[in-house]
Amino acid sequence: MKTSCEVCGGEIDVPDDAIKGEIVSCPDCGSEYEVTEIKEGKPVLKPAEEIGEDWGE
């Protein structure tokens, strides 16, 4: 399955066996996306959340 990157417009190849929560990245700019669902054979992606470092505060 292929989709396009929201940042650079590059082509992202999402594996056919992708599951909800899987992270895929754009080979052109490195942006990461989370698979939220597969609708009618097409992946629905949202920008992956960046988890900040916990300094124990």
What pLDDT is stored for residue 22 in this prediction? Answer: 95
Give the residue, 57 or 49, on which the prediction is more confident.
49
pLDDT at residue 50, rounded to an integer:
74
Euclidean distance between CA atoms 48 and 6, whole angstroms: 12
Residue 4 has pLDDT above 70, yes or no: yes
Quote the pLDDT of residue 6: 93
- Which pLDDT value is given to residue 40? 87
Give the Cα separation of 29 and 14 in Å (integer).
16
The phi, psi pair for 21, rounded to 5°, reads: 95, -10
User: What digits encode the pLDDT tens for the residues 17-53?
Assistant: 999 999 999 999 999 999 999 888 889 999 998 776 6
Amino acid identity at 13: D
